[in-house]
Amino acid sequence: MKAVVVEAPGKIAVREMPMPEPGEYEALCELLYGAICSGTDLHLFFGHPPFCHWVRYPFVLGHESIGRVVKAGRKAKNLRPGDLVTRVGAPAAAGINAGWGGFAEYGIAVDWQAMQADGHPATTWQQARVQRVLPSDISAAEATMLITWRETWSFITRMGFRPSQRLLVIGSGGNGLAFANHARNLGAAAVIILGSDKRAEVAAAVGAQLVDYKTPNAGEQLKTLAIDGFDAIIDAVGSAATLEAALPFLKPGGTIAIYGFDDAGASRIDVRRARGGFTFYQGGYDEAESHDAILRFMQAGLLQARYYLSNLSQPFPLTDIAEALTAVKERRAIKALVQINPLSVEKTAGDSCIACSS
């Protein structure tokens, strides 16, 4: 089978590797679609810390992937041929490691529920909890957004964001837009994004007002919009200086959090810039716990992939993975959709894509 392999930082190729064989609690899946994000995927591709410490070269890229079951092991009771499954990836093989392995023509899904029911230790199946079977009314192409939405929903709800609160999001990429979208779905009183003016239309579509970070009076705009202060500030970029600059706009007793990784480990906060005491949230997220909630929002039309996937109706073929990565790196796309298996037929949404013009 073909797979997208990062051979060294910044060097990528589509290579042949062995087809995986499913074990008794596993299923072989045909990978249909994957999405490229400007966070994890680009950091992995360029070998940025801390991601470069998590995988060894060469490795198969991709973690926002959707697969379709083609063959299930004898004890995989909850995975049946035809099922669509989230977060499927190719395992390591033939000297090629797995950077989650989502950009491969075939991958493995684990029936972790059957393993749990049969009494296997949690250490053997817990990481597979992100692999869930999708209902029939969810498109495989649109479902690639589930990974971003599940992670960010778990993060914002765990940090304690509540209805009628005011949120400032730093960053207008896929994660920043997701946080804004979630805050609106939670009943936020106001959601402001500090980001690129190119994302203003998409920000408005998900219920947020955007302040262009390049505008000389951006600080004055935030001060006006903050009124008596934001209840929460989420740094979706992870820039070393930006969160500290936003700290004076936090309401006394508010909460701040860093979600992004751009300057991982280098962020510093001068607490004297705060208007009072505050909470720094560092509780992370559990992607798996958010699955059912995100499906409900999707089915209700409150989370729409067309705002995020810049090429939903025209995905990149797997062979054009380098072009897809470049589109995300150069911010011509918020996220890029890749069709992994060209022989697969799966209808993509025909709706106009707001993200395409951003």
pLDDT at site 25: 98
pLDDT at site 143: 98
Number of domain units in the chain:
2
Q: pLDDT, tens digit, for every residue of 214-245?
A: 999 999 999 999 999 999 999 999 887 888 88
Question: Is residue 288 one of the residues assigned to a domain?
Answer: no
pLDDT at site 349: 43
b/e burial code for range 114-140 (CB count within 10 A of at least 16 → b): bbbeeeeeeeebeebbbbbebeeebbb
Whether the CB-CB separation of 250 and 166 falls below 8 Å is answered with no
Domain-ending residue, one of 247, 281, 315: 281
Same-domain check for residues 167 and 263: yes
Give 36's strand partners.
336
Question: Is residue 136 one of the residues assigned to a domain?
Answer: yes
Same-domain check for residues 109 and 121: yes
d(CA 33, CA 68): 10
In CATH, what number is assigned to the domain containing residue 112? 3.90.180.10
Structure tokens at 72: 């299930």
For 92, left (φ over 0), alpha (ψ -120 to 50), or beta?
beta
Same-domain check for residues 128 and 203: no
Question: Is residue 227 one of the residues assigned to a domain?
Answer: yes
Same-domain check for residues 153 and 182: yes
d(CA 259, CA 27): 33
Residue pointed to by tokens 């979706």: 236
pLDDT at site 347: 44
Domain-ending residue, one of 281, 315, 341: 281
pLDDT at site 352: 47
pLDDT at site 354: 55
Question: Is residue 287 one of the residues assigned to a domain?
Answer: no
**DSSP 8-state class, residue 83:** -
For residue 15, give its domain range.
2-145+305-357
Same-domain check for residues 267 and 323: no
Same-domain check for residues 152 and 141: no
pLDDT at site 268: 78
d(CA 215, CA 219): 9
Question: Is residue 289 one of the residues assigned to a domain?
Answer: no
pTM of the model: 0.94
Domain-ending residue, one of 213, 246, 281: 281
Same-domain check for residues 69 and 135: yes
* Residues of the chain predicted below pLDDT 70: 343-358
Same-domain check for residues 243 and 271: yes
Same-domain check for residues 243 and 273: yes
Q: pLDDT, tens digit, for every residue of 95-104?
A: 999 999 999 9
CB proximity list for 216: less than 8 A, separation 6 or greater: none
Question: Is residue 293 one of the residues assigned to a domain?
Answer: no
Same-domain check for residues 99 and 158: no
Question: Is residue 15 one of the residues assigned to a domain?
Answer: yes
In CATH, what number is assigned to the domain containing residue 248? 3.40.50.720
pLDDT at site 67: 97
Same-domain check for residues 262 and 321: no
pLDDT at site 353: 53
SS (H, E, C) 12-62: EEEEECCCCCCCCCEEEEEEEEEEECCCHHHHHHHCCCCHHHCCCCCEECC
Same-domain check for residues 231 and 181: yes
Whether the CB-CB separation of 172 and 195 falls below 8 Å is answered with yes
- Tell me the longest C-alpha to C-alpha distance in the chain: 63
Question: Is residue 295 one of the residues assigned to a domain?
Answer: no
